[in-house]
């Protein structure tokens, strides 16, 4: 009896505390679930719910052990069963809660949070059932109405629990008020004052960018991508290697943007910076007195929020034609101290609901998002001439078989978005991974081989080369044939011949005409795309005899690293108002193109090569065609990269070769 009495005293002490924390946990949990806001008080309630939940898990273990020992000999099956179910559900509630606390909510494990909520409902339900059954049995078996039906409960237990709950809610309210009095550290004004408006009464013109407020944004609302790496470290590492991250800091862009600033003034750089450096544009740095600082606001290039902060496409003409909306503030978003950052990240981890909404806006999965920057034009504001269409990857994609907007039939029957090629799903351990453990790659692979090559980022470079060589463009040499070919002096009935094609061979001294077909088979837009005025894509066609003596070649590279000027190129040649070639990518001088050669998606281009087989050629001939690509032509590379000895890598995207017999033509023939 003495042992039971001691256990009862211990249980009473435990249940007094357990009742308090249980009520607080239930109240805070139900409040945040049924009233889903993103207010300061609710975020503080998340923290309260988590801390008290940990306390509940500790007290619950102690209470269950004590209660089980005290009631071990009591034979009440219904009470026992309801109690076991209640404690099992409470155990599931605690386990899922601890997982959320220490691991956070992961996209692939959303069921953990769902189980946490469901187990909370049923745990409360079975606790009530347990108490009701116990009360019913006690009432029916005991004749004395005044007997204590719940011996472990005292008169002060409920009172203490209610006072504790009220005190907790009061603490949250007071903390919310105190936090509200703290001065925000965000400065949503132009960084440089006075801020000039030479392109009209709009803060960002000639960029087409808008913001939700119509004004500037603090640098930390647009930048701070390293902070994203606290939780999304693998994605952030991929982003750092991407061309997006280096869109403003790479030396070639810096050479061009400084040329624009020198020629037209720093305000004119807003035209480029809306896409290349949104941090610089939106913070109001791009005015007289501002700097094109690659170690500061231009270091990030297209930051995480540079894409994820877009909530609307303003129009489809490009030049940064998006509307920027900053992410909703979690606690201490604007603070930089270690503790503030930890608290901020912790709240996002335990309740990422608003974070999901901010980072996965509907437009982020639509190809129109890419149109805001990968479509461009230039007008009189910069070229002093008129409106000219520049690159338009989105428009080309719309016309392609991949968009689902045309009547073309192609190898792809479903819609393939920009993301599906340039941001494919990859295996990851990131918290945002889906149920299959996949996330979108943030390397945004494209055709820029120079930046990773300059940075010695061999992983990014190798993946870019692999991307370029993944059968997206094909090259084929058409097999030539002769309509009057002679194989043998003997007559063979044509009806018994299995070979219906005449054999391909050529005579010494004969002119050869070879057709090469280049097919844009799997690029979702025109090939080549992007900055086709400074990139080089060409065909290296070559014919050699059996002793490897060159008979004919087009597209070779000379000792000065220049491509044969007579080679067949896929490129554009922009010109200024005087018809002079603009070779430095100074598009603010552009008024049109003197030459433009591209292949639309799903289309082919046929190129003819003619040469005479010399008398010294040894049979057979080997004829090859290679589609070659170099980011930056040699002249531009030397200027933009400021190095006369620069030799950017060349990628052979596709190749094909055939063998042709050579004969001596007899006089009788």
pLDDT in tens, 570-622: 999 999 999 999 999 999 999 999 999 999 999 999 999 999 999 999 999 99
Looking at the structure, tell me whether residues 530 and 654 fall in a common domain.
Answer: yes
Looking at the structure, tell me whether residues 249 and 373 fall in a common domain.
Answer: yes
Looking at the structure, tell me whether residues 21 and 137 fall in a common domain.
Answer: yes
Looking at the structure, tell me whether residues 376 and 504 fall in a common domain.
Answer: no
Tokens 């004749």 locate to 143
Closest CA to 14 of 160, 171, 137: 160
Domain end (from 389, 423, 452): 389
Domain end (from 370, 389, 408): 389
The verdict on whether omega for the bond into residue 660 sits within 30 degrees of 0, i.e. cis, is: no
Domain end (from 334, 361, 389): 389
- Look at the chain and count its residues: 669
Q: For the domain that residue 512 is a member of, what is the CATH number?
A: 2.60.40.10
Beta strand 322-324 with 210-211: parallel, antiparallel or unpaired? Answer: parallel
Tokens 């203490």 locate to 160
Residue 27 lies in a domain: yes
pLDDT at residue 462 is higher than 70: yes
Within its chain, how far is the Cα of 471 from the centroid? Answer: 23
Residue 396 lies in a domain: no
Which helix (H) or strand (E) covers residue 270, if one does?
helix 270-276
Looking at the structure, tell me whether residues 525 and 644 fall in a common domain.
Answer: yes
Looking at the structure, tell me whether residues 234 and 361 fall in a common domain.
Answer: yes
Residue 81 lies in a domain: yes
Distance between CA atoms of 342 and 350, rounded to whole angstroms?
12
Looking at the structure, tell me whether residues 289 and 175 fall in a common domain.
Answer: no
Q: How many domains does the chain have?
A: 3
Distance between CA atoms of 343 and 46, rounded to whole angstroms?
11
Domain that holds residue 59: 2-181
pLDDT, tens only, 510-524? 999 999 999 999 999
Closest CA to 186 of 213, 218, 222: 218
Residue 457 lies in a domain: no
Task: Let me know if 602 is exposed, middle or buried by CB neighbors in 10 A (0-12, 13-18, 19+).
Answer: buried
Residue 641 lies in a domain: yes
pLDDT, tens only, 623-650? 999 999 999 999 999 999 999 999 999 9
Cβ–Cβ < 8 Å for 139, 149? yes
Looking at the structure, tell me whether residues 593 and 538 fall in a common domain.
Answer: yes
Residue 414 lies in a domain: no
Looking at the structure, tell me whether residues 214 and 160 fall in a common domain.
Answer: no
pLDDT at residue 401 is higher than 70: yes
Distance between CA atoms of 290 and 191, rounded to whole angstroms?
8
Distance between CA atoms of 280 and 222, rounded to whole angstroms?
9
Within its chain, how far is the Cα of 123 from the centroid? Answer: 41
pLDDT, tens only, 413-445? 688 999 999 999 999 999 999 999 999 999 999
Which helix (H) or strand (E) covers residue 78, if one does?
helix 77-103
Average of per-residue pLDDT across 56-74: 80
Looking at the structure, tell me whether residues 299 and 380 fall in a common domain.
Answer: yes
Residue 399 lies in a domain: no
Looking at the structure, tell me whether residues 19 and 129 fall in a common domain.
Answer: yes
**Helix or strand or coil: residue 534?**
coil
DSSP code string of 226-263: HHHTTT-HHHHHHHHHSTTTTTTTSHHHHHHHHHHHHH
Q: Which two tokens stand for residue 138?
A: 């006690």
pTM for the predicted model, two decimal places: 0.88
Beta strand 650-660 with 550-554: parallel, antiparallel or unpaired? Answer: unpaired
Q: For the domain that residue 137 is a member of, what is the CATH number?
A: 1.20.950
Distance between CA atoms of 332 and 276, rounded to whole angstroms?
28
Residue 234 lies in a domain: yes
Looking at the structure, tell me whether residues 119 and 23 fall in a common domain.
Answer: yes
């Amino acid at each position: 009896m003495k042992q039971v009495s001691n256990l009862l005293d211990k249980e009473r002490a435990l249940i007094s505390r357990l009742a308090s924390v249980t009520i607080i946990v239930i109240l805070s949990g139900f409040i945040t679930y049924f009233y889903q806001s993103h207010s300061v008080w609710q975020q503080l309630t998340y923290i309260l719910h988590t801390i008290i939940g940990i306390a509940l898990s500790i007290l619950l273990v102690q209470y269950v052990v004590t209660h089980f020992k005290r009631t071990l000999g009591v034979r009440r099956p219904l009470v026992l069963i309801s109690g076991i179910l209640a404690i099992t559900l409470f155990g599931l509630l605690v386990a899922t809660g601890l997982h959320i606390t220490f691991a956070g909510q992961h996209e692939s494990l959303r069921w953990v949070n769902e189980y946490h909520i469901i187990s909370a409902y049923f745990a409360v339900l079975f606790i009530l059932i347990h108490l009701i059954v116990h009360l019913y049995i006690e009432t029916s078996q005991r004749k004395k109405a005044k007997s204590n039906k719940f011996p472990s409960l005292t008169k002060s237990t409920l009172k203490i629990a209610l006072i504790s709950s009220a005190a907790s809610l009061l603490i949250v309210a007071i903390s919310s008020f105190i936090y509200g009095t703290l001065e925000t550290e965000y400065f949503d004004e132009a960084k440089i004052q006075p801020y000039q408006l030479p392109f009209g009464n709009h803060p960002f013109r000639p960029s087409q960018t808008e913001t939700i407020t119509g004004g500037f944004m603090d640098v930390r609302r647009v930048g701070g991508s390293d902070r994203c790496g606290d939780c999304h470290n693998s994605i952030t590492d991929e982003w750092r290697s991407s061309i997006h991250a280096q869109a403003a800091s790479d030396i070639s862009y810096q050479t061009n943007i400084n040329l624009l600033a020198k020629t037209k003034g720093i305000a004119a750089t807003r035209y480029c910076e809306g896409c290349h450096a949104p941090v610089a544009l939106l913070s109001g740095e791009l005015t007289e007195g501002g700097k094109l600082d690659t170690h500061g606001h231009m270091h990030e290039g297209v930051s995480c929020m540079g894409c994820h902060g877009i909530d609307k496409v303003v129009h489809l003409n490009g030049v940064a034609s998006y509307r920027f909306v900053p992410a909703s503030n979690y606690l201490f978003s604007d603070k930089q101290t270690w503790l503030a950052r930890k608290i901020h990240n912790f709240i996002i981890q335990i309740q990422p609901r608003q974070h999901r909404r901010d980072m996965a806006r509907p437009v982020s999965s639509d190809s129109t998002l890419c149109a805001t920057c990968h479509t461009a034009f230039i007008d009189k504001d910069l070229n002093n001439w008129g409106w000219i269409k520049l690159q338009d990857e989105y428009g080309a994609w719309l016309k392609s078989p991949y968009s689902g907007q045309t009547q073309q039939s192609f190898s792809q029957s479903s819609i393939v978005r920009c993301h599906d090629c340039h941001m494919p799903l990859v295996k990851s351990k990131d918290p945002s991974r889906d149920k299959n453990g996949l996330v979108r790659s943030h390397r945004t692979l494209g055709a820029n081989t120079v930046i990773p090559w300059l940075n010695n980022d061999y992983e990014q470079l190798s993946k870019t080369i692999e991307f370029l060589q993944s059968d997206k463009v094909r090259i084929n040499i058409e097999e030539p044939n002769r309509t009057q070919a002679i194989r043998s002096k003997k007559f063979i009935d044509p009806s018994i011949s299995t070979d219906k094609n005449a054999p391909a061979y050529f005579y010494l001294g004969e002119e050869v005409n070879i057709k090469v077909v280049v097919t844009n088979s799997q690029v979702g837009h025109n090939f080549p795309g992007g900055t086709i005025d400074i990139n080089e894509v060409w065909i290296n066609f070559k014919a050699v005899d059996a002793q490897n003596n060159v008979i004919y070649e087009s597209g070779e590279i000379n000792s000065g690293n220049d491509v044969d000027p007579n080679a067949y190129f896929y490129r554009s040649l922009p010109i200024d108002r005087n018809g002079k070639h603009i070779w430095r990518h100074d598009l603010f001088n552009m008024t049109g193109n003197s030459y433009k050669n591209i292949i639309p998606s799903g289309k082919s281009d046929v190129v003819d090569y003619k040469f005479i087989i010399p008398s010294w050629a040894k049979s057979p001939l080997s004829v090859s065609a290679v589609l070659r690509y170099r980011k930056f032509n040699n002249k531009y590379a030397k200027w933009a990269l400021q190095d006369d000895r620069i030799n950017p890598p060349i990628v052979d995207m596709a190749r094909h070769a055939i063998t042709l017999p050579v004969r001596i033509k007899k006089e009788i023939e």
